[in-house]
């Protein structure tokens, strides 16, 4: 298995681009080493590549200028949002320009009547939700990190609310995209649905900056529900927790969130946040609706959980109480890191059909046990998606290889069960080894599209597409 | 504005393809004139193009053989599902092969546990729902006609249930596609979500047979709700009916169907089916959920409707009663045709943000009044989508031009309001004139993708993409 190794542009080409960018952008084109290093990676993985320059554009025309300059010179461009991606998407593998979108931080338009908004790509989801709070609307996609909306679009992110509100895929109506040759193009419309030609919006969503740069996003918004009820239920074993979820989904029960936290993650979270739970497999639930509706849903869910030996629910309705109740889930990442200081956490992202979820989780648990490593598990189980947080010493090659081996097997297991190696994190560099296994010849079609829309291959090279055989 | 006029292949090329297909397929490669004529058009529009031969493949490898043969010879291929498309998608504008998918009629797999299924492209939605009825699951997308699932995927169809269950876009997990050069490729997976590379599934969905042939579709299924309540509410004017819908949507009320039928269509439907309604603007509603849930929803919706002067609801819960209640909506097309025998019905398909819906409908109503034509209006108003049925004499050039003019203005009005010229029917030949207006330079990106995936331009030529300027 060979990873693609994008060729480095000539030093002269890089120098000409850096000079052109410094002339146009002044101190918004930065070659300071600390800034370049900060832009050479995301989170969680050691994947790293130093960009030659970091540019901070503020409008579409500036992005177009940067891309056209780089395209003419054959110099790579790596779009950079909030820096929270997990699969190595941000490493400038062959140098070039890191395009920092953080100054694209304006909410351009909010329409409470149409229940949509248009934001620049650098707006973070927390900033957006703060901005629109008083309209009574909210944007539901919540990947945990305070990612930028542009980055979430580029990786087709989702998170805890997806079981009810969908992922970025379902919540983007249209985009503004800058092409590698510097055209500024709008895709989609504000209509909820359309059959007007190729769905370019969903071609760019999830393309991880390999086809162009997403600069604006038209988003669907939702009314804040009248009633939000959070609940936690604990189980003696993972199997019972998962079977509760599967039965609830098959019965059509509407939940806004169904998160599984395994006993190891619960142990870490209890320690980290001094929580009054047992270190047992737990479901963190949230119900959205009318007061009647959520009461009915909770009752039905409690009945299903009880059949599988689940505990009596802990409830919360007020925002501060819900947050306290959900703390073990919200703090999972930090709790896992604090559990073994000095270790890194490698994240897996398997997603399988709901019918395979119990099998996949249990086989994975057995696999984890065989490794003897310390591994946490949390899951957006309503979507069939779960993450391992594999604690390992990134400076120890043996431990790193063990972590990589486990991560590899989890992805392949998901694919073999009809699922995907990555439910919401994207491919980056880390999941490329699974692309051919997961997609077969469809990978060649992806490469044909890539070649058509980025013929000089400047956009985020070395990511997503495996090297040709 | 020039429409693309695809070049006709040479007679020798066509003859060689016909001979090759007859050799391989025997009496499944048909040159009988009646069959060719039947395959040269869809419904509603006069657009017509006679294919040279109609082929009835039965497996993926046969489709691959046909496409490869045609691609090598430069002969066009027009995929044909149930023949119910409305925008001229099926006209073989430059002859060639009509690829009739009706023998792809098998449901390949149903998983009640995963709530999904895999069907061949020629399976109709009614056949699918009959096949899975005893599992307690159903496939919700309902465009009215008993279309094939492949055709519905190719046009990104939706229909009355989309406000709750989404369109084909939201309900397709993956595809098998045959490329013009004869590769058989699977896209997507059975996972509910994935971030693994370019979203080829949604590139092919809605591509109207211009990139390849969809032969299999992996679909999401839904549990039949415990409680289904249908209701009809009548209003003194269109404005009140629409404002009821907008307020209901903004309040987060969950409805499975919200259909608007205007007074002219009601008049035609009452005559056609001897119904006990008034010829007034009416909302046809359906609520899905638990018994408690639907009762609560109905109560809230009745309260909103009453604020706008809506009548007391007519209700129905049993399937046969619901069907009787919804008859005026279900029979709308046939009722409109019967209303003025000898006339054809030209259908528009505007879809706008919900905030613009009242404006768009009222401006369109005024426009209709000025034409003096007989026009029916029905709308999937929960999506901001509505159709005019413009009755006109297809043999009268003056009347045809008037109908075309009205249809043109409706599409442009929707685009100007941030919407789309076609919410669910597709582009075909009839909406090509709006593509540049709606998408601007994004049309060029679509064309780049088309050229990359169908370099010889054999797939359904003359559709979707406007001629280059």
Q: What is the pLDDT of residues A234-243, one digit of tens each?
A: 999 999 999 9
Q: Which residues of B touch A187 (CB under 8 A)?
A: 439, 442, 445
Nearest CA in chain A to B453: A448
Per the rule left: phi > 0, alpha: psi between -120 and 50, beta: everything else, A107 is beta
Sheet holding B184-188, edge to edge: B107-111, B116-120, B213-220, B172-178, B184-188
Query: Which residue in the set A156, A197, A383 is minimally distant from B446, CB to CB?
Result: A197
- pLDDT grade, residue A468 (50/70/90)? low
Query: Which residue in the set A167, A246, A292 is minimally distant from B292, CB to CB?
Result: A292
Query: Which residue in the set B170, B223, B424 is minimally distant from A170, CB to CB?
Result: B170
- pLDDT grade, residue A135 (50/70/90)? very high
Query: Which residue in the set A196, A421, A465 is minimally distant from B431, CB to CB?
Result: A196
Q: What is the mean pLDDT of each run of 10 residues along chain B (469 residues)?
A: 70 98 98 97 86 98 98 98 95 97 98 96 97 95 94 96 94 98 98 97 98 98 92 95 90 89 96 94 94 89 96 92 87 92 94 95 96 96 96 95 97 98 97 97 97 97 85
What per-residue confidence (pLDDT) applies to B214? 98
The residue ranges of DSSP E strands in A307-372, in sequence order, are 314-316, 344-347
Q: Do B195 and A206 touch (CB under 8 A)?
A: yes
What is the torsion angle, in degrees rounded to the nearest 10, for the CA atoms of residue A171, residue A174, residue A179 and residue A183?
-160
Q: Which residues of B touch A184 (CB under 8 A)?
A: 441
Tokens of A317: 């309705």
Burial class (CB in 10 A: 0-12, 13-18, 19+), B295: middle
- Residue entry with tokens 């969503």: A205
Nearest CA in chain A to B246: A113
Beta bridge partners of B387: B378
Tokens of A82: 């909030």
Tokens of A117: 């908004």
Tokens of A345: 């956490």
Calculate mean pLDDT across residues A40-59: 92
The residue ranges of DSSP E strands in A146-211, in sequence order, are 172-178, 184-188
Q: Do B442 and A185 touch (CB under 8 A)?
A: yes
Is residue A6 scored above 90 in pLDDT? no
Count CA atoms closer than 13 A to A455's CA, side-chain side.
8
SS (H, E, C) chain B: CCCCCCCCCCHHHHHHHHHHHHHHHHHHEECCHHHHHHCCCCCCCCCCCCCCEEECCCCHHHHHHHHHHHHHHCCCEEEECCCCCCCCCCCCCCCCEEEECCCCCCEEEEECCCCEEEEECCCEHHHHHHHHHHHCEECCCCCCCCCEHHHHHHCCCCCCCHHHHCCHHHHEEEEEEECCCCCEEEEECCCCCCCCCCCHHHHHCCCCCCCCEEEEEEEECEECCCEEEEEEEECCCHHHHHHHHHHHHHCCCCCCEEEEECHHHHHHHHHHHCCCCCCCCEEEEEEEECHHHHHHHHHHHHHHHHHCCCCCCEEECCHHHHHHHCHHHHCHHHHHHHHCCCCEEEECECECCHHHHHHHHHHHHHHHHHHCCCEEEEEEHHHCEEEEEEEECCCCHHHHHHHHHHHHHHHHHHHHCCCECECCCCCCCCCHHHHHHHHCCHHHHHHHHHHHHCCCCCECCCCCCCCCC
- For helices A291-307 and B291-307, the axis angle rounded to 10 degrees is 170
Distance, CA of B214 to chain centre: 16
- pLDDT grade, residue A3 (50/70/90)? low
Per the CB < 8 A criterion, the answer to whether A430 and A368 are in contact is no
What per-residue confidence (pLDDT) applies to B468? 65
Calculate mean pLDDT across residues A398-402: 96
Residue intervals in chain A for CATH 3.30.70.2190: 227-333
pTM: 0.97
Nearest CA in chain A to B421: A196
Q: Do A356 and B114 touch (CB under 8 A)?
A: yes
**What gap in Å lies between CA B432 and CA B45, rounded to an integer?**
14
The residue ranges of DSSP E strands in A290-369, in sequence order, are 314-316, 344-347
What per-residue confidence (pLDDT) applies to B328? 83
What per-residue confidence (pLDDT) applies to B1? 39
Q: Which residues of B touch A252 (CB under 8 A)?
A: 222-223, 225-226
- The fold of the A227-333 domain, in CATH, is Alpha-Beta Plaits (3.30.70)
pLDDT tens digits along A402-436: 999 999 999 999 999 999 999 999 999 999 999 99
Q: Do A449 and B249 touch (CB under 8 A)?
A: no
Nearest CA in chain B to A208: B197
Per the CB < 8 A criterion, the answer to whether B156 and B345 are in contact is no
CATH of domain B340-426: 3.30.70.2740
Q: Do B166 and A170 touch (CB under 8 A)?
A: yes
**What gap in Å lies between CA B291 and CA B307, rounded to an integer?**
25
What per-residue confidence (pLDDT) applies to A2? 45
Q: Which residues of A touch B348 (CB under 8 A)?
A: none
What per-residue confidence (pLDDT) applies to B3? 54
Pairs across A and B, CB distance < 8 A: 291
Q: Do B354 and A115 touch (CB under 8 A)?
A: yes
Q: Do A192 and B465 touch (CB under 8 A)?
A: no
**What gap in Å lies between CA A66 and CA A75, rounded to an integer?**
10
**What gap in Å lies between CA A469 and CA B183, rounded to an integer?**
17
- Entry field: residues in chain A: 469
3-state SS assignment for residue A231: strand
Tokens of B235: 């209003």
Residues 6+ apart with CB under 8 A from A352: A360, A384, A414, A417, A418, A419, A420, B190, B191
Count CA atoms closer than 13 A to B124's CA, side-chain side.
12
CATH of domain A107-223: 3.30.465.10
More confident residue, A283 or A331: A283
pLDDT tens digits along A195-223: 999 999 999 999 999 999 999 999 999 98
Burial class (CB in 10 A: 0-12, 13-18, 19+), A13: middle
What per-residue confidence (pLDDT) applies to B5? 65
Beta bridge partners of B148: B124
3-state SS assignment for residue A18: helix
Tokens of A91: 């490493």
How far apart are the CA of B185 and the nearest CA of chain A, in angstroms?
A: 6
Q: Which residues of A touch B356 (CB under 8 A)?
A: 114
Pick the residue of A197, A205, A291 with the most B CBs within 10 A to test the interface with B by mutation. A197
How far apart are the CA of B448 and the nearest CA of chain A, in angstroms?
A: 6
Pick the residue of B178, B185, B194, B350 with the most A CBs within 10 A to test the interface with A by mutation. B194
**What gap in Å lies between CA A403 and CA A79, rounded to an integer?**
28
How far apart are the CA of A278 and the nearest CA of chain B, in angstroms?
A: 31
What per-residue confidence (pLDDT) applies to B7? 82
How far apart are the CA of B330 and the nearest CA of chain A, in angstroms?
A: 22
pLDDT tens digits along B258-316: 999 999 999 999 999 999 999 999 999 999 988 888 998 999 999 999 999 999 999 99
- Residue entry with tokens 């901070």: A56
Q: Do A194 and B351 touch (CB under 8 A)?
A: yes
Residue intervals in chain A for CATH 3.30.465.10: 107-223
SS (H, E, C) B45-62: CCCCCCCCEEECCCCHHH
- Residue entry with tokens 């009821």: B244
Is the ipTM here above 0.90?
Answer: yes
pLDDT tens digits along A379-392: 999 999 999 999 99
Residue B352: which of B385, B396, B313 has the closest Cα? B385
What per-residue confidence (pLDDT) applies to B2? 45
pLDDT tens digits along A332-390: 989 999 999 999 999 999 999 999 999 999 999 999 999 999 999 999 999 999 999 99
More confident residue, A224 or A12: A12
Q: What percent of chain A has pLDDT over 90?
A: 88
Per the CB < 8 A criterion, the answer to whether A426 and A153 are in contact is no
Per the CB < 8 A criterion, the answer to whether B283 and B310 are in contact is yes
Buried b (16+ CB within 10 A) or exposed e, A272-285: bbebebebbbbbbb
């Amino acid at each position: 298995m060979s990873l693609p190794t994008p060729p480095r542009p000539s030093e002269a080409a890089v120098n000409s681009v850096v000079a052109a960018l410094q002339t146009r952008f002044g101190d918004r084109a930065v070659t300071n080493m600390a800034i370049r290093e900060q832009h050479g990676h995301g989170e969680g993985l050691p994947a790293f590549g130093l960009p030659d320059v970091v540019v901070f554009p503020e409008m579409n025309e500036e992005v177009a200028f940067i891309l056209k300059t780089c395209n003419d010179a054959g110099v790579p461009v790596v779009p950079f949002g909030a820096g929270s991606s997990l699969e190595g998407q941000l490493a400038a593998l062959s140098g070039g320009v890191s395009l920092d979108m953080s100054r694209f931080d304006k909410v351009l338009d909010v329409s409470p009547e149409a229940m949509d908004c248009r934001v620049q790509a650098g707006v973070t989801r927390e900033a957006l939700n703060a901005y629109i709070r008083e309209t009574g609307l909210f944007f539901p996609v919540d990947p945990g990190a305070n990612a930028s909306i542009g980055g979430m679009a580029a990786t087709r992110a989702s998170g805890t609310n997806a079981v009810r509100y969908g992922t970025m895929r379902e919540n983007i109506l249209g985009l503004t995209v800058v092409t590698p040759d510097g055209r500024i193009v709008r895709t989609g419309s504000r209509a909820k649905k359309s059959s007007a030609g190729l769905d370019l919006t969903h071609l760019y969503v999830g393309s991880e900056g390999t086809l162009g740069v997403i600069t604006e996003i038209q988003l669907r918004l939702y009314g804040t529900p009248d009633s939000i009820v959070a609940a936690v239920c604990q189980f003696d074993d993972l199997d019972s927790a998962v079977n509760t979820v599967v039965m609830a989904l098959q019965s059509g029960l509407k939940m806004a969130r169904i998160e599984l936290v395994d006993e190891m993650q619960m142990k870490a979270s209890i320690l980290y946040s001094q929580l009054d739970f047992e270190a047992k497999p737990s479901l963190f639930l949230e119900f959205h609706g009318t007061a009647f509706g959520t009461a009915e849903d909770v009752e039905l869910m409690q009945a299903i959980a009880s059949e599988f030996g689940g505990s009596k629910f802990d409830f919360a309705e007020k925002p501060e109480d819900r947050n306290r109740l959900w703390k073990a889930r919200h703090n999972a990442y930090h709790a896992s890191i604090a559990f073994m200081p000095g270790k890194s956490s490698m994240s897996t992202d398997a997603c399988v059909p709901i019918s395979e979820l119990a099998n996949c989780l249990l086989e994975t648990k057995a696999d984890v046990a065989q490794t003897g490593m310390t591994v946490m598990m949390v899951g957006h189980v309503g979507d069939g998606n779960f993450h391992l947080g594999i604690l390992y010493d990134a400076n120890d090659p043996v431990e790193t290889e063990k972590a990589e081996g486990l991560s590899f097997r989890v992805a392949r297991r998901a694919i073999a069960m009809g699922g995907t190696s990555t439910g919401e994190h994207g491919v980056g560099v880390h999941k490329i080894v699974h692309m051919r296994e997961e997609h077969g010849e469809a990978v060649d079609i992806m490469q044909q599209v890539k070649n058509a829309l980025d013929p000089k291959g400047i956009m985020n090279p070395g990511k997503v597409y495996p090297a040709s055989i």
